[in-house]
């Protein structure tokens, strides 16, 4: 293996690499990317799970078709492609990742977004940890916004988040002496990582974009042996401000995977068994879809050259992983799963409409976002290309729906879910402290935002948000395509099945009767 040369990459890219290598001890080495056919068996010893955030099904199909020598094309030639796969709804990163890791939707996981609400929790104590004092009183349940993103890092100026999560930034549980609620404690069901560890199959690992992804540890808090989560939104670097900087950020996580394939921990500094389940999420494609310099040229999903470059960079990174699995003699028995936590909307930029605080609709200079329309009654409104609304008092739901309907044109509202439709989707807000009272799905292409610097977003129920790529690849498999409708939550029980475990060991699989993916036996 050879060292990376930093001389040929942009300055902001080298800054990202150098800073993280200093703060987190990452060994920056890359292997050969040759893809050579070997004789194979079909036994699965481990699973490499990859989320290319933003990857639509049409992105995967087009890229593989137009780049027949690519890694994605190679994986498709030895795998099953699902042309009609849907991610979670809402299509946010947290529920999208948890679908892959638990086999469940928010109705069982209890996690709707990385910014949500719980009627039974209390706000964080603030900057000074004072135990049970402050806004939380044992036995009193005021309800609070629940945020599990970069804002809970110990030090947002550092790429390692300052070493983890600040308990003072976490919601408090009045039913448990006002102790802080870490992300893994917020999750109501177990994960594939917990099941695999609990059955002594081997080491577990994951790499993602915030320390908050320790939620994948599951309720036990012990599901992951190795979590590598450099902070993508660190205030010291504008990583998501350019595609090249995001690619460099992805490279750091790719190196963590290569280290793990080589029998080390994610930092490359300690010997460790190769994980039985491991993987990462890629961010460059998602950022390339959002930034005005990227996106698509037409409604058919023809990428701009910048977005195409992000796809090619991600594909080359997958090639490094496949090559290193081969180098270590592991590839023939590794199931590679490529999918996405979420898509991105809109693909057709002619549909794009951002409703910011300064907008006024056809009804005049009135509030055009659900959060503004329901400001008096809303306890929490989470908005992207969807609006999840938790009310201060659920008894106002009917009146608030009427108010939203009256402003439907100005707020570009397509569908309002409340009452029976919410219960059908998620459960009853009267009995479940996490279920939103109202969900607003805007017209395709509409984004509720205070930012004017993005041309796409995710979170909603739209086709572009939910229709994602899904590919399972293993040497020895004949290429096939399944067009029947499947969901990404079926990945979790499928992983357990191919590793020889009972999918029913997953709580969400039992609750929601999630099936394994067809075409895999």
Q: For the chain, 521 residues long, give each residue's pLDDT as a single digit of tens.
A: 323 333 334 444 445 444 444 444 444 443 333 332 333 334 899 999 999 999 999 999 999 999 999 999 999 999 999 999 999 999 999 999 999 999 999 999 999 999 999 999 999 986 433 343 457 999 999 999 999 999 999 999 999 999 999 999 999 999 999 999 999 999 999 999 999 999 999 999 999 999 999 999 999 999 999 999 999 999 999 999 999 999 999 999 999 999 999 999 999 999 999 999 999 999 999 999 999 999 999 999 999 999 999 999 999 999 999 999 999 999 999 999 999 999 999 999 999 999 876 555 443 444 588 999 999 999 999 999 999 999 999 999 999 999 999 999 989 999 999 999 999 999 999 999 999 999 999 999 999 987 778 899 999 999 999 999 999 999 988 899 999 999 999 999 999 999 999 999 999 999 999 999 998 86
Structure tokens at 470: 């899904």
Say what the pLDDT of residue 133 is: 42
The whole-angstrom separation of Cα 234 and Cα 229 is: 12
Say what the pLDDT of residue 358 is: 57
Topology of the domain comprising 353-448: Gyrase A; domain 2 (3.30.1360)
Give the other-Cβ count within 10 Å of 399's Cβ: 12
Structure tokens at 318: 């997958």
The answer to whether 113 touches 106, Cβ cutoff 8 Å, is: no
Start-end ranges of CATH 3.30.1360 in the chain?
353-448
Say what the pLDDT of residue 450 is: 75
The whole-angstrom separation of Cα 214 and Cα 165 is: 9
What are the angstrom distances between the C-alpha of 373 and each of 267, 296, 376, 378? Answer: 48, 32, 8, 9
**Helix 57-66 with 305-327: angle, nearest 10 deg:** 80
Give Cβ neighbours of residue 233 (< 8 Å, ≥ 6 apart): 149, 150, 156, 209, 210, 239, 240
Q: Can you name the residues that pair with 296 across neighbouring β-strands?
A: 303
Structure tokens at 462: 């739209």
Structure tokens at 323: 């090559």
Topology of the domain comprising 35-87+187-343+477-512: Alkaline Phosphatase, subunit A (3.40.720)
- Ordered strands of the 413-418 beta sheet: 378-383, 387-391, 438-442, 413-418
Say what the pLDDT of residue 134 is: 55
The whole-angstrom separation of Cα 256 and Cα 259 is: 5
The whole-angstrom separation of Cα 13 and Cα 78 is: 34
SS3 breakdown of the chain: % helix, strand, coil, rounded to 5? 35, 20, 45
What are the angstrom distances between the C-alpha of 277 and each of 134, 205, 223, 271, 394? Answer: 41, 6, 11, 17, 42
The whole-angstrom separation of Cα 85 and Cα 90 is: 15
The whole-angstrom separation of Cα 44 and Cα 90 is: 32
What are the angstrom distances between the C-alpha of 78 and each of 93, 235, 485? Answer: 28, 42, 21
Start-end ranges of CATH 3.40.720.10 in the chain?
35-87+187-343+477-512
Say what the pLDDT of residue 114 is: 96
First to last CA, the chain: 36
pTM of the model: 0.91
The whole-angstrom separation of Cα 511 and Cα 504 is: 9
Say what the pLDDT of residue 287 is: 97
Which of the 8 DSSP states describes residue 517? P
What are the angstrom distances between the C-alpha of 429 and each of 119, 139, 393, 456? Answer: 9, 20, 11, 30
Centroid of chain to Cα 430:
28
| DSSP β-ladder status, 2-3 and 85-86 | unpaired
Q: Length of the chain in residues, anyone?
A: 521
Residue at token pair 């979790």: 492
Say what the pLDDT of residue 10 is: 46
The answer to whether 226 touches 275, Cβ cutoff 8 Å, is: yes
What are the angstrom distances between the C-alpha of 265 and each of 117, 207, 277, 321? Answer: 35, 12, 13, 15
The whole-angstrom separation of Cα 121 and Cα 450 is: 27
The answer to whether 455 touches 295, Cβ cutoff 8 Å, is: yes
Q: Is 357 exposed, middle or buried (0-12, 13-18, 19+ CB in 10 A)?
A: exposed
Residue at token pair 């998620």: 426
Say what the pLDDT of residue 453 is: 81
């Amino acid at each position: 293996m050879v060292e990376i040369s930093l001389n040929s990459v942009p300055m902001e890219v080298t800054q990202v690499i150098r800073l993280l290598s200093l703060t987190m001890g990452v060994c920056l080495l890359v292997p050969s990317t040759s893809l050579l056919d070997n004789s194979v068996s079909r036994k699965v010893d481990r699973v490499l799970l990859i989320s290319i955030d933003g990857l639509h099904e049409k992105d995967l199909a087009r890229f593989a078709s137009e780049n027949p020598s690519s890694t994605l094309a190679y994986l498709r030639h030895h795998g099953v492609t699902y042309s009609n796969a849907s991610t979670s709804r809402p299509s946010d990163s947290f529920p999208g990742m948890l679908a892959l890791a638990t086999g469940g939707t928010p109705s069982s996981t209890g996690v709707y977004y990385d910014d949500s609400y719980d009627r039974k929790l209390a706000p964080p104590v603030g900057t000074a940890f004072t135990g049970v004092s402050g806004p939380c009183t044992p036995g009193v349940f005021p309800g609070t916004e629940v945020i599990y993103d970069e804002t809970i890092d110990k030090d947002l100026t550092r790429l390692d988040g300052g070493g983890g999560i600040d308990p003072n930034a976490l919601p408090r549980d009045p039913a448990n002496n006002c102790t802080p609620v870490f992300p893994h404690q917020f999750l109501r069901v177990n994960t594939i990582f917990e099941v695999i560890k609990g059955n002594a199959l081997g080491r577990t690992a994951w790499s993602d974009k915030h320390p908050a992804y320790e939620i994948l540890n599951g309720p036990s808090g012990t599901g992951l042996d190795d979590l590598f989560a450099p902070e993508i939104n660190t205030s010291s670097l504008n990583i998501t401000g350019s595609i090249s900087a995001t690619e460099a950020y992805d490279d750091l996580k790719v190196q963590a995977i290569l280290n793990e394939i080589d029998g080390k921990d994610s930092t490359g500094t300690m010997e460790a068994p190769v994980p039985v389940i491991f993987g990462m999420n890629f961010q460059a494609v998602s950022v390339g879809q959002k930034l005005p310099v990227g996106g698509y040229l037409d409604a058919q999903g023809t990428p701009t050259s910048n977005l195409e470059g992000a796809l090619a960079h991600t594909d080359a990174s997958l090639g490094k992983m496949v090559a290193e699995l081969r180098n270590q003699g592991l590839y023939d028995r590794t199931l590679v799963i490529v999918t996405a936590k979420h898509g991105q909307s809109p693909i057709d930029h002619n549909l794009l409409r951002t409703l910011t605080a300064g907008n006024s609709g056809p009804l005049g200079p009135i509030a055009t976002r659900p959060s503004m329309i329901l400001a008096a009654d809303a306890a929490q409104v989470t908005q992207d290309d969807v609006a999840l609304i938790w009310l201060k008092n659920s008894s106002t739901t009917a009146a608030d729906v009427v108010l939203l309907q009256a402003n439907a044109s100005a707020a570009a509202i397509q569908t309002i879910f409340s009452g029976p439709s919410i219960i059908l989707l998620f459960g009853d807000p009267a009995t479940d402290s996490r279920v939103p009272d109202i969900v607003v799905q805007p017209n395709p292409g509409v984004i509720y935002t205070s930012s004017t610097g993005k041309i796409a977003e995710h979170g909603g129920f739209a086709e572009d948000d939910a229709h994602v790529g899904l590919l399972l690849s293993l040497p020895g498999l004949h290429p096939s395509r399944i067009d029947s409708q499947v969901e990404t939550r079926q990945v979790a029980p499928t992983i357990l099945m191919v590793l020889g475990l009972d999918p029913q060991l997953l709580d969400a699989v039992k609750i929601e009767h999630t099936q394994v993916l067809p075409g895999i036996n």
